[in-house]
């Protein structure tokens, strides 16, 4: 696929969002995905690595990936420019269970870089064609500091909407940040969304997840309505190469989205 | 059951015939090692051996294979997929454990969700002629994992040495095709009786069975048990067990590039290596040899059976023979099962 | 699975008893939390590292010529007090690791076993053409092998580990507890095998090395068995820069072995753990022994023989040999 | 192309220490001393910076030869970098030739900032040796 646009998301320039268009138009109709799924991005000569789709399938003709510069491949990606070609192998994984979520209220809890597929889901739900299928939408999003907040313009737009409640927070503020300061688990406690007919969707760093889950439990979210999108080192994305399994489940092929109920039956090796 | 009798001279003739149509891969001696390799004449084939050092899996899943090559110019690239191994191959002289391992690999690479074209291509082009194990080694434990020295799983033909000849059992349609045109006598009553005796003797000589079939729940119940610590303490974290194993199939996908050209390569990897599950963030869910060896054991004896209904081990005993510190998987399993029962 | 018919020769039995006694006392008096030694393995020629924490397990400890693993590997970065049963090679590795700050001297109680002539099981197995050994006994200088329908008697001196065969020291350089008596020491010198190899033509040497390297399956058993390969991230795993490819390409594989040999140069004590660990029988020591010899000859350093002295590649002399240089 | 020894010119990677040898090369240039154009120079802070892996990587990626030059003993800008390098190089060169790499593919020499002519000599000498050996094949990755 062709890189159309590269947006630097964070002040430290370590996170960029890449908008890709299909170099071969025919692929467009074959690439049907749901929010929460991922794809293997590949740069020839460097290899491939998995990234969740940050765009919603309602944004036609384009795919977005938010990429944190960490290793060989991501560095190569960060050095690319509009017009460059990257390979996309996907969609892979299960994605968020849209049919199950339909009719319910949705609480989205995202921390840092893990927010990208939740952003995709939110945009999907906010689309005119879909908004009616979901109840109240609450988004709780946190970053380490204001400079690391992703999708700033879009969040500003969401903030103006009356069919979505947005709570943004940073772990520590600096300069002209007027929003909340505090760790996500505390903000969740503060916001205290009702668990009634509500799904909580969580994605973020392991430590955030560890402290958020008890809060959700306390608020009455049952484990089968608490969904997590997991991160593991993956390679093939097909459940073959053997590195991303948690117990008998492969995060790449059986996940990356699991309910807490499913996870509690698996070994705590993630 | 179709059973023919093959004398030594018949076998040389048969191999000669097969050589005309197939690339023949058979056990041969290289230095002091018995390995599978391509042979050009029947004379090179080794018949009298216990097993090869490496398993036969690399015929279907080579240690490294090019998936595609590419060349890129400016903003475009041309990619060419590689299916090099289309030549029909005949794998002669595998042991029943290795033949059975192909069925396990099929579960992974010919799965319900995804299929691996490279693997399937080779699989479809490979015929398997097995030689039953008249003299199992003490490290063999195939009978503990639903196999046996004469298990026919995964074989197209099965040869059983009855002393002065081989009884050849046809175990698949493709196997029957291999004997087409060959003028072979049917195995007589005496031959079949000898065969039966040979089989009984071999089976009787097997080490006592381990009680591991159907115990995946037991293993699961002791995932967090402290026993894993002492059990894995001497493990060096090398890849001998996984690389010699006929069923281990973990791999990595890497690119190798030179200037504007390069290739994407699939290469064996091992769950025993420290970097295997290391995430970009620096977090590693399997931090020490303990977690990594636990993964290997659990994968074979709990996860694999859970996902595919079959134990992910064929009991060939290679890991037992070659582990540099003699970490014997049978001991590990026995201790684990004991622990799970006590609990 | 333990092979129950263990019969040690008298001398080994005496050593084993002394080891047990020492271990029992150390654990009893809480001088150490852990004793690392050898126990009987699951196959006739195999004895295997064991970790004893309780007095009642002390009798598992044994000693004989098949206790070939280098236990120094298990001492790196340990935090508890530990005793280790160590033959000459192990102790030499321990010495070098102490100098590299990987082992703290006061944390380790060395139970030194003077011993000359560990046996290399692979050399014995090679002799048997694939026939399975079901039992082994030693009597004097004889190794008696028993299998299905055969008994074979071998002269143990022909099946020694190559490092024992060569003139590598046989006594523990340092120890806290000595088992038995010190044995006659040998003077280190260049191994005849290396001299023989060097006498070959360049092309002959190249084809030999290539043939050996072609057997390598990159399982890294050599690296992981080596007491000196303790890098947190091995150069083979690095991605930026990526030093070598991950396949069994001959160039990559050879460069892996060359680099590893260079990386342990001046540290390698020639114990041969790498070679014994290799399932494919790659002649890895061909590289290491060469460097051990060169380090001795060029820099006068014998790794692991003394707690004094600086590792040869961490120091220099102004008049180091430079005959290899162009117009020096 | 490389196999065609007619018209083949060796490709030699030269690691030159910044303080002495690179300056020596510069001096050779300024002094218009003729030497073969076979070398591709990589300037390094000190010969002690050279990891044997650099040299192996050059040979793997198709260099016909590798030359490392540093300050004469006693002249190192960092006092002892070249002494440490000398030990490493002695082992590396010995090992490479021991496994059968042609003698002369990998060479080391001292060249000071004042030794323009010596630098030219060294390069000429190394180039001729390697030209005589022909294209490198042994460690090249194919």
DSSP B174-205: HHHHHHTT---EEP-HHHHHHHHHHHHHHHHT
Question: At A188, which helix (H) or strand (E)?
Answer: helix A184-191
User: C-chain residues within 8 Å CB-CB of B233?
Assistant: 51
User: C-chain residues within 8 Å CB-CB of D102?
Assistant: 202
The answer to whether position B211 is within a domain reads no
User: Which CATH number belongs to the domain containing residue A80 in this structure?
Assistant: 2.40.30.10
A10 and A69 inside one domain: yes
User: Domain ends where: B165, B184, B204?
Assistant: B204
Cα–Cα nearest to C323, from D139, D48, D103: D103
Beta strands at C108-113 and C82-87: parallel, antiparallel or unpaired: parallel
A167 and A110 inside one domain: yes
A112 and A212 inside one domain: yes
pLDDT score for A26? 83
Looking at the complex, does the CB of residue C54 fall below 8 Å from at least one CB of chain B? no
The answer to whether position A234 is within a domain reads no
| CB A69, CB A14: distance < 8 Å | yes
- Residue C28's SS3 state is helix
A162 and A87 inside one domain: no
- DSSP-derived letter for residue A47 is E
The answer to whether position B71 is within a domain reads no
User: Which one is predicted more confidently, B79 or C190?
Assistant: B79
Closest CB from A231, A232, A241 relative to B250: A241
D2: pLDDT confidence band, cut at 50, 70 and 90? very low
A60 and A146 inside one domain: no
Taking the C-alpha atoms of residue D68 and residue C316, their distance in angstroms, rounded to an integer, is: 19
B226 and B188 inside one domain: no
User: B-chain residues within 8 Å CB-CB of C276?
Assistant: 324
> Are residues C220 and B326, on separate chains, in Cβ contact within 8 Å?
no
- Indicate the number of domains in chain B: 2
B67 backbone dihedrals φ, ψ, rounded to 5° = -85, -45
Residue A262 predicted with pLDDT over 90: yes
Tell me what the pLDDT averaged over chain B comes to: 92
Which chains share 3+ C-beta pairs under 8 angstroms with A? B, C
The answer to whether position A176 is within a domain reads yes
Taking the C-alpha atoms of residue B328 and residue B173, their distance in angstroms, rounded to an integer, is: 38
Q: Which of B74, B265, B285, B307 to mutate to test the interface with A (most CBs of A within 10 A)?
A: B285
Helices (H), chain D: 21-30, 52-60, 81-98, 116-133
Q: What is the mean pLDDT of residues A67-78?
A: 91
A30 and A70 inside one domain: yes
B195 and B253 inside one domain: no
Separation in Å, CA B255 to CA A80, C241, D18, D58, D83: 18, 14, 34, 19, 38
Distance in Å, alpha carbon of C275 to nearest chain B alpha carbon? 10
D41: pLDDT confidence band, cut at 50, 70 and 90? very high
The answer to whether position B183 is within a domain reads yes
pLDDT score for D1? 43
pLDDT score for A225? 94
Cα–Cα nearest to C149, from C133, C172, C170, C161: C133
B27: pLDDT confidence band, cut at 50, 70 and 90? very high
A138 and A164 inside one domain: yes
Looking at the complex, does the CB of residue B78 fall below 8 Å from at least one CB of chain A? no
Q: Are 3 or more Cβ–Cβ pairs between A and B shorter than 8 Å?
A: yes
Looking at the complex, does the CB of residue D93 fall below 8 Å from at least one CB of chain C? yes
User: B-chain residues within 8 Å CB-CB of C1?
Assistant: 207, 328, 330-331, 334
> Are residues D90 and C235, on separate chains, in Cβ contact within 8 Å?
no
pLDDT score for B117? 92
Contact residues for C45 (Cβ-Cβ < 8 A; gap 6+) = C66, C119, C121, C124, C125, C133, C136
The answer to whether position B178 is within a domain reads yes
B59 and B140 inside one domain: yes
Closest CB from C265, C287, C326 relative to D122: C326
Distance in Å, alpha carbon of B67 to nearest chain A alpha carbon? 12
The percentage of chain D sitting over the pLDDT mark of 70, rounded to a whole number, equals 96
Taking the C-alpha atoms of residue C240 and residue A25, their distance in angstroms, rounded to an integer, is: 35
* Domains of chain D by residue range: 12-133
User: Which CATH number belongs to the domain containing residue A115 in this structure?
Assistant: 3.40.50.80
A7 and A68 inside one domain: yes
B196 and B222 inside one domain: no
Distance in Å, alpha carbon of C241 to nearest chain A alpha carbon? 9
Contact residues for C29 (Cβ-Cβ < 8 A; gap 6+) = none
The percentage of chain D sitting over the pLDDT mark of 90, rounded to a whole number, equals 94
A102 and A150 inside one domain: yes
B238 and B96 inside one domain: no
Residue with tokens 């009642």: C56
Buried b (16+ CB within 10 A) or exposed e, C92-130: bbbbbbbbeebbeeeebbbbbbbbbebbbbbbbbeeeee
pLDDT in tens, C66-123: 999 999 999 999 999 999 999 999 999 999 999 999 999 999 999 999 987 899 999 9
pLDDT score for C167? 63
| Per-position DSSP letters for C253-298, written without gaps between them | HHHHHHHHHHHTTTT-----HHHHH-TT---THHHHHHHHHHHHHH
Separation in Å, CA B139 to CA B310, B324, C221: 21, 15, 21
Domain containing residue B53: 3-63+82-204
Domain containing residue A34: 2-92
> Are residues C313 and D87, on separate chains, in Cβ contact within 8 Å?
yes
> Are residues A248 and B306, on separate chains, in Cβ contact within 8 Å?
yes
Q: How many residues are listed for chain D in this entry? A: 142
Separation in Å, CA A112 to CA A142, A175, C101: 6, 19, 39
Residue A105 predicted with pLDDT over 50: yes
Q: Which of C240, C241, C245, C247 to mutate to test the interface with A (most CBs of A within 10 A)?
A: C240
Distance in Å, alpha carbon of D119 to nearest chain C alpha carbon? 11
pLDDT score for B215? 85
pLDDT in tens, C140-155: 889 999 998 899 999 9
Residue C5 predicted with pLDDT over 70: no
B8 and B92 inside one domain: yes
pLDDT in tens, C6-60: 778 888 999 999 999 999 999 999 999 999 999 999 999 999 999 999 999 999 9
| CB A105, CB A200: distance < 8 Å | no
Residue with tokens 């430290």: A12
> Are residues C242 and A71, on separate chains, in Cβ contact within 8 Å?
no
B164 and B270 inside one domain: no
pLDDT in tens, B257-273: 888 899 999 999 999 99
Q: What is the mean pLDDT of residues B222-233?
A: 94
Q: What is the mean pLDDT of residues D50-58?
A: 97
B164 and B242 inside one domain: no
B131: pLDDT confidence band, cut at 50, 70 and 90? very high
| Fold that domain D12-133 belongs to in CATH | Rossmann fold (3.40.50)
Q: Where are the beta strands (DSSP E) in A33-184?
A: 38-43, 47-52, 62-68, 87-92, 105-111, 137-143, 165-170, 180-181
Q: Chain C: which residues have CB within 8 Å of chain D? A: 197-198, 202-209, 235, 243-245, 249, 251-252, 254-255, 258-259, 261-262, 265-266, 287, 290-291, 294-295, 298-299, 312-313, 316-318, 320-322, 324-328
> Are residues A233 and B302, on separate chains, in Cβ contact within 8 Å?
no
Which chains share 3+ C-beta pairs under 8 angstroms with B? A, C
Taking the C-alpha atoms of residue B335 and residue B233, their distance in angstroms, rounded to an integer, is: 14
> Are residues C239 and A75, on separate chains, in Cβ contact within 8 Å?
no
- Residue D112's SS3 state is coil
The answer to whether position A36 is within a domain reads yes
- What dihedral angle (degrees, nearest 10) is formed by the CA atoms of C286, C290, C291, C292? 100
CA torsion through residues B146, B147, B151, B156, sign: positive
> Are residues B321 and C233, on separate chains, in Cβ contact within 8 Å?
no
| Per-position DSSP letters for B193-250, written without gaps between them | HHHHHHHHHHHHTSPPPPS-TT-HHHHHHTTT-TTHHHHHTT----SHHHHH-SS---
The answer to whether position B105 is within a domain reads yes
* The three-state (H, E, C) secondary structure of C188-221, written as one string: CCCCHHHHHHHCCCHHHHHHHHHHHHHCCCCCCH
Cα–Cα nearest to B339, from B228, B234, B210: B228
The answer to whether position A141 is within a domain reads yes
The answer to whether position B76 is within a domain reads no
A159 and A59 inside one domain: no
**Largest Cα–Cα distance in chain C?**
67
pLDDT in tens, C211-258: 999 999 999 999 999 999 999 999 999 888 889 999 999 999 999 999
What is the distance, to the nearest Å, from the Cα of residue B11 to the centroid of all Cα atoms in its chain?
A: 24
Looking at the complex, does the CB of residue C121 fall below 8 Å from at least one CB of chain B? no
Taking the C-alpha atoms of residue D106 and residue D84, their distance in angstroms, rounded to an integer, is: 18
> Are residues C51 and B233, on separate chains, in Cβ contact within 8 Å?
yes
Distance in Å, alpha carbon of B303 to nearest chain C alpha carbon? 24
- Indicate the number of domains in chain A: 2
pLDDT score for B214? 81
Taking the C-alpha atoms of residue B329 and residue A254, their distance in angstroms, rounded to an integer, is: 29
Which chains share 3+ C-beta pairs under 8 angstroms with D? C
Inter-chain CB pairs, A–C, below 8 Å: 6
Looking at the complex, does the CB of residue D78 fall below 8 Å from at least one CB of chain C? no
Most confident of A82-96, B61-75, C121-135, D58-72: D58-72
The token duo for C141 is 């200088």
Burial class of residue B78 in the structure, from the number of CB atoms within 10 Å of its CB (0-12 exposed, 13-18 middle, 19+ buried): exposed
Contact residues for B227 (Cβ-Cβ < 8 A; gap 6+) = B335, B336, B339
Q: Are 3 or more Cβ–Cβ pairs between D and A shorter than 8 Å?
A: no
B181: pLDDT confidence band, cut at 50, 70 and 90? confident
A129 and A215 inside one domain: yes
User: A-chain residues within 8 Å CB-CB of C245?
Assistant: none
User: A-chain residues within 8 Å CB-CB of B285?
Assistant: 232, 246, 269-270
B320: pLDDT confidence band, cut at 50, 70 and 90? very high
A86 and A116 inside one domain: no
The answer to whether position A244 is within a domain reads no
- Residue B167's SS3 state is strand
Q: Which chain C residue is nearest to residue D62, measuring alpha carbons? A: C251
User: Domain ends where: B204, B237, B262?
Assistant: B204
Q: Which of B326, B327, B328, B333 to mutate to test the interface with C (most CBs of C within 10 A)?
A: B326
B286 and B196 inside one domain: no
**Intra-chain end-to-end CA distance of chain B, in Å:** 47
User: B-chain residues within 8 Å CB-CB of C49?
Assistant: 234, 325
> Are residues C242 and A72, on separate chains, in Cβ contact within 8 Å?
yes
């Amino acid at each position: 696929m062709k890189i159309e646009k590269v947006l630097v998301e964070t002040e430290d320039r370590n996170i960029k969002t890449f908008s890709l268009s299909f170099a071969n138009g025919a692929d467009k109709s074959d690439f049907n995905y749901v929010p929460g799924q991922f794809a293997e991005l590949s740069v020839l000569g460097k290899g491939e690595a998995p990234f969740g789709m940050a765009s919603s399938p309602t944004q036609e003709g384009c795919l977005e990936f938010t990429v944190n510069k960490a290793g060989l491949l991501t560095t190569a990606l960060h050095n690319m420019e509009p017009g460059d070609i990257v390979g996309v192998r996907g969609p892979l994984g299960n994605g968020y269970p849209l049919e199950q979520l339909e009719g319910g209220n949705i609480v989205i809890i995202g921390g840092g870089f893990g927010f990208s597929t939740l952003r995709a889901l939110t945009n999907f739900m906010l689309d005119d064609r879909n908004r009616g299928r979901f109840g109240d939408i609450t988004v709780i999003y946190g970053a380490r500091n204001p400079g690391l907040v992703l999708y700033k313009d879009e969040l500003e737009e969401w903030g103006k909407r009356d069919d979505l409640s947005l709570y943004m927070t940073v772990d520590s503020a600096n300069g002209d940040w007027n929003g909340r300061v505090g760790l996500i688990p505390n903000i969740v406690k503060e916001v205290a969304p009702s668990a009634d007919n509500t799904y909580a969707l969580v994605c973020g760093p392991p430590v955030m997840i560890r402290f958020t889950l008890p809060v959700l439990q306390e608020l009455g979210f049952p484990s089968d309505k608490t969904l997590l999108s997991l991160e593991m080192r993956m390679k093939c994305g097909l459940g073959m190469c053997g590195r991303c399994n948690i117990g008998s489940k492969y995060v790449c092929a059986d996940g990356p989205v699991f309910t807490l109920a499913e996870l509690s039956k698996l070994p705590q090796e993630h | 059951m179709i059973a023919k009798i093959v004398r030594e001279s018949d076998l040389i003739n048969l191999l000669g015939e097969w050589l005309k149509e197939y690339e023949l891969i058979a056990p041969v001696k290289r230095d002091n090692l018995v390995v599978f390799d391509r042979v050009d004449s029947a004379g090179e084939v080794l018949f009298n051996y216990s097993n090869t050092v490496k398993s036969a899996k690399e015929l279907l899943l080579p240690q490294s294979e090019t998936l595609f090559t590419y060349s890129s110019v400016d903003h475009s690239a041309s990619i060419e997929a590689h299916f090099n191994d289309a030549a029909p191959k005949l794998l002669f002289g595998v042991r029943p454990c290795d033949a059975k391992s192909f069925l396990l690999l099929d579960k992974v690479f010919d799965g319900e969700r995804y299929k691996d074209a490279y693997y399937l291509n080779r699989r479809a082009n490979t015929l398997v002629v097995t030689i039953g194990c008249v003299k199992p080694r003490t490290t063999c434990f195939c009978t503990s994992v639903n196999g046996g020295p004469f298990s026919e799983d995964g074989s197209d033909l099965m040869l059983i040495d009855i002393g002065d000849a081989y009884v050849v059992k046809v175990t698949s349609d493709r196997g029957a095709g291999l004997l087409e045109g060959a003028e072979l006598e049917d195995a007589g009553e005496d031959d079949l009786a000898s065969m039966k005796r040979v089989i009984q003797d071999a089976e009787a000589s097997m080490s006592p069975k381990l009680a591991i079939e159907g115990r995946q729940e037991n293993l699961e119940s002791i995932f967090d048990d402290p026993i894993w610590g002492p059990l894995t303490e001497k493990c060096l974290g090398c890849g001998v067990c996984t690389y010699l194993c006929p069923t281990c199939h973990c791999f990595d996908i890497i690119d190798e590039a030179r200037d504007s050209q390069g290739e994407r390569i699939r290469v064996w990897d091992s769950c025993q290596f420290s970097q295997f599950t290391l995430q970009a963030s620096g977090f590693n869910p399997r931090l020490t040899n303990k977690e990594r060896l636990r993964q290997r054991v659990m994968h074979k004896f709990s996860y694999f059976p859970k996902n595919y209904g079959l134990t992910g081990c064929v009991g060939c005993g290679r890991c037992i023979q070659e582990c540099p510190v003699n970490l014997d998987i049978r001991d590990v399993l026995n201790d684990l099962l004991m622990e799970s029962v006590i609990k | 699975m333990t092979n129950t018919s263990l019969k040690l020769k008298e001398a080994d039995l005496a050593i084993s008893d002394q080891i047990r006694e020492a271990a029992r006392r150390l654990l009893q008096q809480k001088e150490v939390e852990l004793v690392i030694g050898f126990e009987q393995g699951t196959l006739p020629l195999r004895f295997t590292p064991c970790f004893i924490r309780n007095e009642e397990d002390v009798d598992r400890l044994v000693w004989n010529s098949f206790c070939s693993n280098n236990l120094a590997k298990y001492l790196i970065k340990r935090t508890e007090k530990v005793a280790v049963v160590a033959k000459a090679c192990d102790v030499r590795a321990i010495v070098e690791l102490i100098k590299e700050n990987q082992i703290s001297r006061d944390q380790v109680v060395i139970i030194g076993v003077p011993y000359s002539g560990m046996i290399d099981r692979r050399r014995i197995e090679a002799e048997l053409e694939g026939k399975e050994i079901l039992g082994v006994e030693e009597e004097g200088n004889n190794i008696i092998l028993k299998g299905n329908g055969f008994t074979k008697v071998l002269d143990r001196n022909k099946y020694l580990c190559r490092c024992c065969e060569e003139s590598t020291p046989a006594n523990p350089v340092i120890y806290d507890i000595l088992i038995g008596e010190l044995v006659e020491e040998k003077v280190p010198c260049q191994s005849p095998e290396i001299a023989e190899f060097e006498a070959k033509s360049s092309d002959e040497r190249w084809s030999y090395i290539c043939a050996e390297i072609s057997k390598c399956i990159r399982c890294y058993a050599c690296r992981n068995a080596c007491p000196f390969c303790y890098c947190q991230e091995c150069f083979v795993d690095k991605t930026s820069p990526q030093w070598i490819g991950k396949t069994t390409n001959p160039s990559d594989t050879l460069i892996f072995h060359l680099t590893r040999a260079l990386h342990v140069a001046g540290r390698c004590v020639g114990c041969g753990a790498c070679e014994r660990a290799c399932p494919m029988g790659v002649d890895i020591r061909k590289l290491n022994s060469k460097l051990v010899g060169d380090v001795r000859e060029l820099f006068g350093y014998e790794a692991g023989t003394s707690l004094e002295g600086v590792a040869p590649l961490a120091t220099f002399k102004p008049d180091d040999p430079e005959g290899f240089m162009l117009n020096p | 192309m490389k196999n065609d020894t007619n018209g083949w010119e060796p490709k030699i990677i030269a690691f030159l220490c910044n303080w002495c040898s690179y300056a020596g090369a510069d001096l050779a240039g300024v002094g218009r001393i003729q030497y073969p154009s076979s070398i591709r120079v990589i300037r390094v802070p000190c010969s002690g910076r050279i990891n044997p892996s650099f040299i192996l990587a050059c040979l793997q990626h198709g260099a016909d030869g590798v030359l490392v030059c540093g300050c004469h003993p006693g002249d190192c800008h960092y006092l002892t970098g070249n002494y440490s390098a000398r030990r490493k190089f002695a082992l590396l060169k010995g090992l490479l030739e021991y496994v059968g790499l042609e003698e002369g593919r990998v060479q080391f020499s001292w060249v000071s900032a004042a030794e323009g002519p010596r630098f030219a000599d060294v390069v000429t000498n190394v180039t001729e040796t390697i030209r005589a050996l022909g294209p490198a094949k042994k460690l090249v990755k194919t």
